[in-house]
Amino acid sequence: MKILCCIIDGLLIAITACLYGIISLQQSLLFSVPIFLLLFVAINIFPSIYNIKYKNIRLRICAEGSDLLCAFLIGAFISVTVHIIFAFFVLPEFLFQYILSCICLLFTLSISFWNGIIRVYTTSVQLGLKYRVIGVLCGFIPIANLIVLAKIIIICYNEVNFENEKILLNEYRKSQSICKTKYPILLVHGVFFRDFKYVNYWGRIPNELIKNGAEIHYGNHQSALSVADSATELIKRIKQIVKETGCEKVNIIAHSKGGLDCRYAISQCKADKYVASLTTINTPHRGCLFADYLLDKAPDRVKNTVAKSYNFSLKKLGDSNPDFIAAVYDLTNERCEQLNKTTIDSSEVYYQSVGSKLNKATNGKFPLNFTYYVAKYFDGANDGLVSEQSFKWGDNYTYLTTKGNRGISHGDMIDLNRENIKGFDVREFYVQLVNDLKTKGF
């Protein structure tokens, strides 16, 4: 149905683009001009009735933009081919009319192209900065521009279909509230980030959980402190949530260093009475050997300069007393070994862990594409920061990757880039993870 609509739209664009040339040669067809112009305007407003099926306006606009770009390619191929053939029959006798027809061709195709590209550029999430920039840079390079445009169309079609299926799935299971756990979910961020209202550390994950019945809270602790100091802030936050909601306990899902902070809070700050379960996501439970190396080799002057700049910046963003050096040192292999010896798991808490593997550095996005090689040299297989051997903790361990070169990075596990990864739906992973907690009675 959609393909047929695009073909019809492409034919209408081609006819409109060739309309001046056709009328110049056969004036008896002049009556058809208003009809085709109206149809051309119509398809540029509503490219396909098929798009009514999409459940929100962003997806509909993105789908319509993709349809227009697809129709543009079809229309451009047909109309340009027709003009090339016409050239052998009408030149040089009808040179002026031919030039005017070519101008009309460019004008008509430009309307459909810009209409489509503006729609997808303003609504697509999956294009990201990368393909938006590539599209601009390759826009005036013959052949390359067509290849990039085809790639943009495919990305957008995949996005709208994938997102629409997720909406339909959530509508279907809404009444089941599969993420409505006995105790609410507390999401705890990792180092060097904060919980901001408008830029969520966890990407699209919290909203997906909420749609499926979850009650979500955030740690709201500072971005960079020692494990002990972060744990002190977290126990206060946990008690606050318990007091305000009357929930008795929370289920913690903690990413990266947040997992160490929570383990310390449970064992050393007596938070075990308020915690039903702890799920650590890509947490360096055994540290990062390459972190030890970098800290040992970096001159004190460099470390202090970086720390001072970071601490100053984060104070401006809301941290009261950030400590870059303390946070980094607590991620080293030596500090984590000490933590594991002194921080004993509570029998009152269910512990489980998740880790992932990045298969190719370039898929890690900046800066993980650089740190991947360092981590691999010292620690072997890793997620761009943390090694495979460091993830496992607790009664249940889940190790994730994908087929092929992509893999799943440290940032992918919190939906950092809001990217739909082939072979791994991060939002659905968390939905099923929380559903499992519900099944277990937490």
Over residues 352-375, mean pLDDT: 90
Q: Are residues 143 and 182 in the same domain?
A: no
How many residues appear in the chain? 442
83-109 pLDDT tens trace: 898 888 878 887 888 888 899 899 999
The CATH number of the domain holding residue 286 is 3.40.50.1820
Give the total number of structural domains in the chain: 2
What mean pLDDT comes out for the span 225-231?
A: 96
Where is the domain boundary, 169, 188, 216? 169
* Domain enclosing residue 104, as ranges: 2-169
Q: What tens digit of pLDDT does each residue of 19-50 get?
A: 877 666 666 666 677 888 888 888 898 888 77
Q: Rounded to an integer, what distance in angstroms lies between the CA atom of residue 48 and that of residue 63?
A: 9
Determine the average pLDDT of the residues in 196-225: 94
The predicted structure's pLDDT at residue 182: 97
What pLDDT score does 24 carry? 67
Q: Do 87 and 214 lie in a common domain?
A: no
Q: What is the C-alpha to C-alpha distance for residues 133 and 420, in angstroms, rounded to an integer?
A: 19
pLDDT at 171 over 90: yes
Q: How far apart are CA 309 and CA 157, in angstroms?
A: 43
Contact 76, 59 (CB under 8 A): no
Per-residue pLDDT tens digits for 381-421: 999 999 999 999 999 999 999 999 999 999 999 999 999 99
Q: Which of 135, 169, 203 is the last residue of a domain?
A: 169
Q: Where residue 370 falls among pLDDT bands split at 50, 70, 90? A: confident
Judge whether 255 and 281 are in contact, CB under 8 Å. yes
Q: 55 phi and psi, to 5 degrees?
A: -85, -15
Assigned token pair, 281: 């996501």
For the record, the structure tokens of 27 come out as 């004036």
Cα separation, 438 vs 176, in Å, equals 12
pLDDT of 5 reads 82
Q: Is the pLDDT of residue 76 over 70?
A: yes
Report the run of H or E that residue 88 belongs to, with start and end.
Answer: helix 57-90
Residues 163 and 187 in one domain: no
Picking from 117-131, 141-155, 296-310, which range would have the lowest pLDDT averaged per residue?
296-310
State whether 373 and 419 are in the same domain: yes
Decide if 185 contacts 209 (C-beta within 8 A).
yes
- Interval 412-441: pLDDT, tens: 999 999 999 999 999 999 999 999 999 999
Instruction: Verify that 154 and 217 share a domain, yes or no.
Output: no
Using the 3D structure, point to which of 140, 169, 198 is the last residue of a domain.
Answer: 169
Which of 16-20, 98-102, 271-275, 301-305 shows the highest mean pLDDT? 271-275
DSSP character string of 371-422: HHHHHHHHHSSBSSSSBHHHH--SSEEEEE--STT-B--TTGGGTTT---BT
What is the pLDDT, as a whole number, of residue 136? 93
Is 193 in the same domain as 150? no
Mean pLDDT to the nearest integer, 54-71? 94
For position 288, what pLDDT does the model report?
A: 84
Do 321 and 435 belong together in one domain? yes
pLDDT of res. 25 = 63
On whether both 184 and 143 belong to a single domain, the answer is no
Q: Are 184 and 298 in a shared domain?
A: yes
Question: What is the reported pLDDT for 314?
Answer: 82
Question: What's the confidence (pLDDT) of residue 78?
Answer: 94
CA 208 to chain CA mean position, Å: 13
Tens of pLDDT along 181-208? 999 999 999 998 989 878 899 999 999 9
Q: Is the pLDDT of residue 343 over 80?
A: yes
68 and 193 fall within a common domain: no
Q: How confident is the model at residue 214 (pLDDT cuts 50, 70, 90)?
A: very high
Percent of the chain residues past pLDDT 90, beyond the cut: 66
More confident residue, 196 or 235: 235
Taking alpha carbons only, the member of 278, 398, 280, 283 closest to residue 350 is: 278
In this structure, the answer to whether residues 192 and 255 fall within a common structural domain is: yes
Question: How large is the average pLDDT for residues 107-113?
Answer: 94
Same domain, 257 and 365: yes
Q: How confident is the model at residue 379 (pLDDT cuts 50, 70, 90)?
A: confident
pTM summary value: 0.91
Tokens 């500090």 belong to residue: 335
The chain-wide mean pLDDT, for the chain, equals 91
